[in-house]
Structure 1
Amino acid sequence: WRVALLEGGGHEFTPRSQQLYTCTSTGLEMYAHETRLRYLGGTSNHWAGRCRPFTASDFAVPPPVDVPGWPISYSDIEPYLAGAMDIVDLPQGAQFHAINEGLDGGEFEADRFLLSPPTRFAQKYASALEDTPGLDVFINCNCVDLLFDEGAGRLQAVLVSDYDGKRQQVKARNYILAMGAIENARQLLNSGSLAAAGVMRKDGLTGRCFMEHLNIDMGTFILKSGEGTDPRQYFTTDAFVAEYQAGKGNVQAAVLADVQTYGRTAEVKHFLENLACEMGVSSKIEFVAKFSCPGDGVISTLIEQFPNAQSRISLLDERDELDVAKVNVNWVLSDHDRHTIKCIGSELAKQFAATGLGFVKLNDFVYDTSLPLKLSPHAHHMGTTRMAASAETGVVDADCKVFGTDNLYVAGSSVFATGGASNPTMPLLQFALRLAEHLDQKLRLQHGAAA
């Protein structure tokens, strides 16, 4: 088949390309501009490499909210795990393994994961992008509109622009948006022809149910004398989820060997923060900077956020230099999410004490849900074009095709109906491979017509 890959950025990072990702935020702070990279290879250019696939329960257990879970089962993506592992350079047959024992109470098992080198897609596939017959790669080629033919029920072209404002239509039999959860929703919402045809409705779910993984500063812990200080990673069991009607979560408990500092002034901050730790006044200057001292046991998380229609991407009246509407991200949590955080924190503290591992001091906002929550995002953007059984509850169908169209598809974690507590790279690659197979079969049924 013939394939055209349209990349909005170039071969390297440029401020001009990156600024097209600038957006506003009216909800929780989530650093959307800094965490995404807009050049060939995308955000894989600074991906950390942690890989953990979804499990059967991610698909089988619906979220306790007013939108449904997945319209497919785990078995629909499981066959593509080996291919996804190959893409990110994980050895074939390698088992997702734990680095520690689980907790005995039944609520937390040892987390199982693998680490990619990590793979930088542009570098790994440079030769393939250059030499593959039938593949044409266009850089600095920005999508500025999706042109939909209402009568035919098909996308007829993508309107693209370079940075000098030169525009051109690109036509194909099938189209895939693979721009990340914010940009996928932005492009769909920005299309006037999709809106005029009723494919993108004001009361629809495009842009809604934006999800992140929650990195909560749960508190601190002290290990019992004799316990090893290596990091421990735990994952909530299906029994925990069922008992508490809560989301899933990964919890990491680590004893710091040194003060953690970053940025241009890291050396100065490192000196001052170590001095504060030595003087025992670190807790008294939290209004200036919050940090942990060497020897402190800190608890961080990667916790599931349930789909929530009020957490959303929406268009602004302001437009960027290519005349595409800018977006606002309103990242908000629900009471269900606070319940999950409270249950994970409380149960972890109980299990540390019950097993004799140590003692946990939770931050007040973990168990007192009336207090403002202190958290940071993991830059795992999900859910804005969620998969569903119908347009009433989602944006794409089980084949990742946009409802109301015959040839417009979406790839990436924006199609996630729920986010679980697994890093999204592995499952989104499984979905991409599944979509590629679907399109190959579709084209073959169309008598081998060129894509």
Structure 2
Amino acid sequence: MILDAETLEQGATLEAELCILGAGAAGIALAMQFLRGPGRVILVESGRGMADAASQALYEGEVADPALHSPIHTYRARRFGGSTTLWGGRCIPLDPVDFRARPWMPHSGWPFGPEELAPWYPAANALCEAGAFDYRADTAVPGGMRPMIAGFAPRDFSEDGIERFSTPTNFAARYAHRLAASESLRVLLGANCTAIEPAPEGGRVAALRIRTLTGRDATIRAARVVLATGGLETPRLLLASRGPGAENGIGNGHDLVGRYYMCHIAGTSGRLRVALPPALVHPGYEVAEDGTYIRRRLHLTEAAQAREGVGNAVMRLHFPRIPDPRHGSGVLSGLYLARHLLPYEYRKRLEEAGAGNPRMLLRHLRNLAADPFSAVGFAWTMLRKRRLAARKFPSVIVRPPGNVFSLDFHGEQEPNPESRVTLGGGCDALGMPKLHVDWRWTERDIRTAQVSFRLLAEDLSRWGRGWLDFDPDEVARDMLRDGAYGGHHIGTARMGTTPATGVVDPDGRVHGMANLWVAGSAVFPTSGQANPTLTVVALALRLAAQLKQDMARPLSVEG
């Protein structure tokens, strides 16, 4: 059943065995496991089916350094489906090294190993519609995938792993009909949780305070509560909720809520030349038998990470930087000239200093005029394979002139307690305090990128048929050009075995709270190199199984 909070009576009280706050990837994946019970379940979502400016404005807040972090109401969507309504669909499981406590990586280590998540990844892959759970290049397609660079066998990188792409699946659009048909599950739209109210004696949640944008109030009393509101909204709600035993915010007895805020370090840099015919270099996608787009990438080996004392990282062959007209590509210049038509999340990457320079614009126009047919062909392909296709072509793939590529880097960020989100000044339209985001990078973050470029240059030199020109200082600038990478909001309610080391325990339960859990990338102790959504869904499925066991031990909903 799907209801709108505006249809509730003023001051209504709803009761349930389980309440899930947030209907994005984590919340919907979790709710899907309770379509036939056990017990009554309420899935609460602030937004509705369509984007709404007033709801989205509730995400607005402060950023310590706007050059390093986008406005916090961007790269996430306050609506039914959450940020799956705008994600790119890249699916990758975490690597075994990500779970380990690494001597060279401060604050690393998950409270369990990769075997704990392994049973949940295949079902998560299916919910994300990313095809078979097979992330090996030699088995993902019959006979194996084509090599990225024929004959290249690097020492410090593997190209055996792949990334898969969802359609990309909007979880609300894809699964709303199943949620609506459930007799045990209610979805409540247009409902904003403004406070988690602890019980008078502390130690558990007594009630959730709900308010609509028109001022209608309601209360939810649930035996169990799961926060699935994302890596920024989760700490906001925990910090803003005060009461007995939670004078500084729920779960914040050790001042950990909002700390260790990670995204990923990412950017394009360098100039890679390969002395091979173009047909022997494959920078783009292949299609698995089930229609899923898949792609190889260069993955820094665990041995190299340990030897160099750096984080986990991958690199992909990429076309030259679009804003620089020296690439000579009509397709890339056409994309640059049309950048204002793109969504903010993509347009931001095309904006650089000097973007309005008439000389630069003239060179882009010359590229387009010299190569009009390829630009038209590209536009038609993207219309057919991306805009109109049910399974969308994942991204722009353009073979650069002369077989000269840049490298697209995506790396782990070191967990840093000084990188954090806190409550800032002012309140939103519901009276909730706004967030203040102080995202910080570390020297190791940048060195991970610089080392990756150096090691690849050395591997290519040993091979003798490829050359990578790069400047370490330029790599550093390229990694920080856009600052924190997009919508990967990680680590702000991290797992730890004790309250002194984490906000939640290994099961995702908030330390010191008997009936409050967190689902989503907020609980990740480390970011790894992988995009977080697939792991978010796998953790949600694991949590659902644990909650079903817990529901065999009923808790009182009295408060």
TM superposition score normalised by structure 1? 0.89
The Cα of 1:180 is off from its aligned counterpart by: 0.6
Moved more, 141-150 or 200-209: 200-209
Secondary structure of the equivalent of 2:125?
helix
Q: What amino acid is the match of 2:196?
A: L
> How far apart, CA to CA, are the structure 2 residues paired with 1:447 and 1:214?
43
Query: How many Å apart are 1:66 and its aligned residue?
Result: 4.1
1:232-279 C-alpha deviation (Å, 9 max, x unpaired): 62111111111111101110112456314253368x999645246699
CA contact (8 A) 1:412 1:431 kept: yes
Residue 187 of structure 1 is matched in structure 2 by: 237
Say whether residues 1:17 and 2:55 are aligned partners.
yes
Indicate the residue corresponding to 1:230 in structure 2.
282
From the superposition, tell whether residues 219 and 31 of structure 1 become closer, same or farther in structure 2 (CA, over 3 Å): farther
Aligned residue for 2:381?
none
**Aligned position for 1:245:** 309
Report the equivalent of 2:69. Answer: 29
User: Are the aligned partners of 2:242 and 2:250 in contact in 1 as well (CA < 8 Å)?
Assistant: no
Q: Residues 76-117 of structure 1, C-alpha deviation per residue, up to 9 Å, x if partnerless?
A: 111101110110123345444366358523211114121111
Bigger drift between 422-431 and 248-257 goes to 248-257
Does 39-48 or 292-301 show the bigger shift? 292-301
- Structure 1 segments (4+ residues) deviating >6 Å: 268-271, 369-372, 447-450
Count of aligned pairs between the two proteins = 437
Alpha-carbon separation, structure 2, partners of 1:125 and 1:278: 42
What's the % identity of the aligned pairs? 28
Q: Residues 65-104 of structure 1 correspond to what in structure 2 (within 5 A)?
A: 65-92=105-132, 94-97=134-137, 100-101=147-148, 103-104=152-153
1:210 counterpart = 2:248: no
Contact map agreement 2:155 2:459 (CA 8 A) in 1: no
Q: Which residue of the other structure, out of 186, 195, 207, is the alignment partner of 1:136?
A: 186
Q: What is the SS of the residue equivalent to 1:344?
A: helix
> Does 2:223 match 1:173?
yes
Question: Does structure 1 conserve the Cα–Cα contact (< 8 Å) formed by 2:223 and 2:556?
Answer: no
Which residue is equivalent to 1:62? 102
Are the aligned partners of 1:96 and 1:114 in contact in 2 as well (CA < 8 Å)? no
The TM-score normalised by the length of structure 2 is 0.72
Give the unaligned 5+ runs of structure 1.
280-291
| 1:341 match | 449
* Alpha-carbon contact 1:274-1:293 (below 8 Å) kept: no
In structure 2, C-alpha distance between the alignment counterparts of 1:265 and 1:132, rounded to whole Å: 40
Q: Take 1:447 and 1:16, find their aligned partners in 2: how far apart are those partners?
A: 37
Q: Is the CA contact 2:100–2:108 (under 8 Å) kept in the aligned structure 1? A: no
Partner of 1:107: 156
Give the Cα–Cα distance (whole angstroms) in 2 for the partners of residues 94 and 293 of structure 1: 27
Aligned counterpart for 2:339 among listed residues 263, 267, 275: 263
Residue equivalent to 2:196: 146
Q: Is the 8 A contact 2:91 2:164 kept in 1?
A: yes
Change (3 A) 1:345 1:378: farther
TM-fit CA distance, 1:30: 3.3
Task: Say whether 1:320 aligns with 2:372.
Answer: no
Q: Classify 1:202/1:263 alpha carbon distance in 2 versus 1 (closer, same or farther; 3 Å).
A: farther
Task: Report the Cα offset of residue 418 of structure 1.
Answer: 0.5
Shift of 1:124: 1.0
Mark the runs of 5 or more structure 2 residues left unpaired by the alignment.
1-38, 138-144, 284-295, 321-328, 343-354, 370-397
Q: 1:361 aligns with which of 466, 469, 478?
A: 469
Q: Note if contact 1:400-1:409 (Cα within 8 Å) is conserved in structure 2.
A: yes
- What whole-Å deviation, never above 9, does each CA across 1:294-352 have from its counterpart, x for those lacking one? 52522111110010011111101211010000001111111221221221121122222
Match of 2:352 in 1: none
**Cα 1:101/1:184, change in 2 over 3 Å:** same
Cα distance 1:213–1:124, how it changes in 2: closer, same or farther (>3 A)?
same
- Matched residue, 1:158: 208
> How far apart are the structure 2 equivalents of 1:319 and 1:140?
19
Contact persistence 2:241–2:249 (CA under 8 A):
no
The residue type paired with residue 205 of structure 1 is L
1:171 deviates by: 0.7
* 3-state SS of 1:173 partner: strand
Task: Work out whether residues 273 and 405 of structure 2, in 8 Å CA contact, stay in contact via their aligned partners in 1.
Answer: yes
Could you tell me whether the CA contact under 8 Å between 1:229 and 1:255 is conserved in 2? no
More displaced stretch, 192-201 vs 389-398: 192-201
User: C-alpha distance in 1, partners of 2:489/2:258?
Assistant: 11
> For residues 477 and 417 of structure 2, what CA distance do their matches in structure 1 show?
22
Distance in 1 between residues matched to 2:432 and 2:557, nearest whole Å:
33
Compared with structure 1, are the counterparts of its residues 329 and 350 closer, same or farther at alpha carbon in structure 2 (3 Å cutoff)?
A: same
Structure-2 residue corresponding to 1:283: none
Distance 2:212 2:424 in 1: 22
Does 2:122 align with 1:122? no
Q: Once the 2 structures are TM-superposed, how far is the Cα of residue 10 of structure 1 from its aligned partner?
A: 1.0
For 1:69, the aligned partner's letter is G
Q: Note the alpha carbon deviations across 1:13-57, whole angstroms, 9 max, x for none.
A: 010011111122114223432210110001101111111101222
3-state secondary structure, aligned to 1:195: coil
Cα separation, 2, equivalents of 1:30 and 1:363: 26
Distance 1:335 1:130, change over 3 A: same
Query: Does 2:513 correspond to 1:374?
Result: no
**What RMSD over aligned residues (CA atoms) do the two structures have, in Å?**
2.9
User: Which of these residues, 35, 43, 49, is aligned with residue 89 of structure 2?
Assistant: 49
The alpha-carbon distance between structure 1 residues 93 and 189, as it changes in their structure 2 partners (threshold 3 A), is closer
C-alpha separation between the residues in 2 aligned to 1:401 and 1:153?
12
